[in-house]
C-alpha cells in the first residue's frame, strides 16, 4: 500500500483500528491481563520483549488481517522491532493493515480539569524515522476529566498544534482528546469538546485533514458533525475502560464511527493458549468489534 491507498482505506474501509500501543507505564498491566506476571521479567528490556512477542503473535495470527482490521497503532519500541524478520510496519502493510505510531510521551498533571501532553522535543526525529519505515500516521492522547471550558480549549489547541507538526511531515495525525468515562460531567465535556474541535477544524488550511479518536459520547450521535466534516478523514472511538460487549453496543449507536480498541480487543487473550485457541479467541473479538464498527443500531 502506498500513501494514497492508505488514505483511501482509512477514509472508506470497513473495519476498525487495533490499538497495540501500550507504553512503559501500562505494559505491566497489559502483560498481567495476558497472563504474564511481573516475576516473568527482571529488566525493562525483558518486559518489552514479552509485550513485543504478544503483539507479534497478534499480528501473525491468521485472524488478524486487513479485511476487518484496517489499521494498527504501535508503540515506538514495537515499531522499531521485527515480526518474523521484517519490520513491524512492513509486517502490518503485508497484511493490508495501515500502521500508525503513538507519539505522546505521557500526561502532565491535571490543570483546569484536563491533562495535557508532556513536551515532545524529539518529535521531528521520530516522525522522520516513522515515515521512513512506512508508517502512515500518528496518535497523540490527552485526557479531559471535567467540563472546564478553559481546560478543554487548551487540550484541543495543543492537539491541533501537534497535529500541524505531524502534517508538515506528510503524515496523518490521529487527534485524541479522551473524555474520562468516569467523569461526573461527561455529557457536558462532550458538548464543549465538540465545539472546540469544530473551531480548530475550521482553522485548518484548506486541503488538510486529520483523524479524530474520541471517547464514546453519552448521547449517541453527538459527534455526527465531525463524522461529516470535510476536514476529518475518519472518526474512531476508544473503549475507554468499557469491556468489549458494552463498548461494542455503545459503538453501534454512533453512525460513521469505527473502533480503535486496545483492552477491549485483547481482554480474552492469554499467553498460555495454544495457537488454535489464540486465533479463535482473537477472531471472536475481531468479529464482535467489526460488527460494532460496521453494523449500526
Task: Give catalytic residue positions.
Answer: 176, 213
User: Any residues with CB less than 8 A from the CB of 68 and at least 6 apart, and which?
Assistant: 14, 15, 16, 286, 287, 290
- Three-class SS of residue 107? strand
Distance CA 234, CA 236 (A): 6
Please report the sign of the dihedral spanned by the C-alpha atoms of residue 288, residue 213, residue 14, residue 60. Answer: negative
**Partners of 20 in beta bridges:** 74
How far lies 37's CA from each of 17, 45, 175, in Å?
27, 15, 33
The DSSP H or E segment spanning 234 is: strand 232-238
Distance CA 141, CA 100 (A): 13
Distance CA 225, CA 210 (A): 14
Exposure string over 130-144, b if 16+ CB within 10 A, otherwise e: bbebbbbbbbbbbbb
Looking at the chain, list the stretches that DSSP marks H as alpha helix, in order from N- to C-terminal side.
3-12, 27-33, 44-60, 76-80, 88-94, 123-132, 149-167, 186-203, 224-227, 244-252, 263-266, 275-294
Amino acid at each position: 500500500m502506498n500513501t494514497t491507498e492508505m488514505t483511501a482505506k482509512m477514509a472508506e474501509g470497513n473495519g476498525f483500528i487495533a490499538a497495540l500501543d501500550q507504553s512503559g507505564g501500562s505494559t505491566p498491566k497489559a502483560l498481567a491481563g495476558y497472563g504474564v506476571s511481573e516475576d516473568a521479567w527482571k529488566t525493562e528490556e525483558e518486559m518489552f520483549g514479552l509485550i513485543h512477542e504478544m503483539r507479534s503473535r497478534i499480528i501473525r495470527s491468521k485472524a488478524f488481517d486487513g479485511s476487518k482490521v484496517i489499521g494498527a497503532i504501535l508503540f515506538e519500541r514495537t515499531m522499531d522491532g521485527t515480526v518474523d524478520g521484517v519490520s513491524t510496519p512492513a509486517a502490518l502493510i503485508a497484511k493490508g493493515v495501515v500502521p500508525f505510531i503513538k507519539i505522546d510521551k505521557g500526561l502532565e498533571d491535571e490543570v483546569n480539569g484536563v491533562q495535557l501532553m508532556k513536551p515532545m522535543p524529539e518529535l521531528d526525529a521520530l516522525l522522520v524515522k516513522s515515515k521512513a519505515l512506512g508508517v502512515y500516521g500518528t496518535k497523540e492522547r490527552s485526557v479531559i476529566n471535567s467540563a472546564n471550558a478553559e481546560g478543554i480549549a487548551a487540550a484541543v489547541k495543543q492537539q491541533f498544534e501537534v497535529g500541524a507538526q505531524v502534517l508538515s511531515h506528510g503524515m496523518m495525525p490521529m487527534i485524541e482528546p479522551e473524555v474520562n468515562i468516569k467523569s461526573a460531567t461527561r455529557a457536558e465535556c462532550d458538548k464543549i469538546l465538540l465545539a472546540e474541535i469544530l473551531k480548530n477544524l475550521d482553522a485548518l488550511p484548506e486541503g488538510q485533514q486529520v483523524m479524530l479518536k474520541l471517547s464514546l459520547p453519552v448521547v449517541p450521535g453527538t459527534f455526527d458533525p465531525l463524522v461529516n466534516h470535510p476536514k476529518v478523514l475518519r472518526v474512531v472511538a476508544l473503549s475507554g475502560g468499557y469491556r468489549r460487549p458494552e463498548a461494542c453496543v455503545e459503538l453501534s449507536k454512533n453512525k460513521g464511527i469505527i473502533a480503535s480498541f486496545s483492552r477491549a480487543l485483547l481482554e480474552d487473550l492469554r499467553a498460555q493458549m495454544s495457537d488454535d485457541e489464540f486465533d479463535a479467541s482473537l477472531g471472536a473479538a475481531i468479529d464482535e468489534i467489526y460488527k460494532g464498527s460496521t453494523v449500526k443500531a
